[in-house]
A and B are shown apart, each in its own frame.
Chain A
Amino acid sequence: ELKVEQNPLFLSMQEGKNYTIYCNYSTTSDRLYWYRQDPGKSLESLFVLLSNGAVKQEGRLMASLDTKARLSTLHITAAVHDLSATYFCAVDPARTTSGTYKYIFGTGTRLKVLA
């Protein structure tokens, strides 16, 4: 069974601190996606990681992908309250074999940044 697990599920951190969210997946996928969801809102695309070793940064967030380890990380630098949201990673393993884009989402990490 395909699993996409995120760690931690809940994260409460102080402003100004650094932290990393981990996303492990159990099958081959050459792409990985990170999304942000604010309460009551839809999903906002943050990063698209297209290959092994890919690293992308936007503001205080940096994402990386290791396809051999089946691991992606989302690193938060000097957190601010506006980053409070739920973060999801997603893979599309079916694309590797059949060309379809069928996302499987991770469990989600609910981040709360305390002032």
Chain B
Amino acid sequence: AQRVTQPEKLLSVFKGAPVELKCNYSYSGSPELFWYVQYSRQRLQLLLRHISRESIKGFTADLNKGETSFHLKKPFAQEEDSAMYYCALSGPGANSKLTFGKGITLSVRP
């Protein structure tokens, strides 16, 4: 069974502080990992995926297979980063469904 755990529900930081949103997963195989973001009054949308190995809006996430983690990081938080963030996992191949964590609310204070 595939499972995604986001241990914290809320993270509140000041502008300019580093951010790390934790995500751990359980999957027997080679998963694909994603981070989705939902800004206030906007749709849930893809932020980044591990296979792209890219930085989006200053965010990065590295897949650590040994620790089964995919933490989302940003060195200097901005107020506009305030949103709900979901970590998600999928198995490889077509017809693979996404399993989401419960999400974490990031609040960046001025």
A and B associate in one complex: no
| B binding-site residues for A, Cβ under 8 Å | none
